Amino acid sequence: MELINDLTEDLKLLGDRTRLMILTLLKEREWCVCEFVDLFDISQPAVSQHLRKLKSSGLVKEQKRGQWVYYSLNIEDKPHVKAILNFTPEASILLSKLNKPSNSICCE
């Protein structure tokens, strides 16, 4: 029953468009909060809320470098999430749909 509960919670998280896009982008590299703010044109608190949910579920991990926090995927033990992310587009395709360059780094 615990496995079903975990799957249900992960699928709820993946059911949100912004969170699924974040995870899709994280397939290829780590990202900073400020990059997501620029990409999705939503507030920093809103992006942080999405990342907090993903982190609390164990789908992402964070690493602080200086004043910036970088996020990366943490799905080694979640084959169901890996399977879903295999069906999401590459970051370059997603970024082109958002009309954003693939190399916009704001935190350096």
Q: What is the pLDDT of residue 103?
A: 58
How many domains in the chain?
1
Closest-CA residue to 54 (of 88, 95, 97, 25): 25
Is residue 103 a part of any domain in this protein?
no
pLDDT digits (tens, 9 = 90+) for 41-99: 899 999 999 999 999 999 999 999 888 899 999 999 999 999 999 999 999 899 898 88
pLDDT band at 28 (very low <50, low <70, confident <90, very high): very high
The alpha carbon of residue 40 and the mean position of all alpha carbons in its chain are separated, in whole angstroms, by 12
Beta strands in 15-94 (DSSP E): 31-32, 60-65, 68-73
Nearest alpha-carbon partner for 94 in 9, 53, 35, 34: 35
Residue 105 domain-assigned (yes or no): no
Does the residue 101 lie in any domain? no
Residues 6+ apart with CB under 8 A from 75: 59, 81, 82, 85
Assigned domain for 104 exists? no
Is residue 45 domain-resident?
yes
> Domain limits at 60?
2-96
- 102 in a structural domain: no
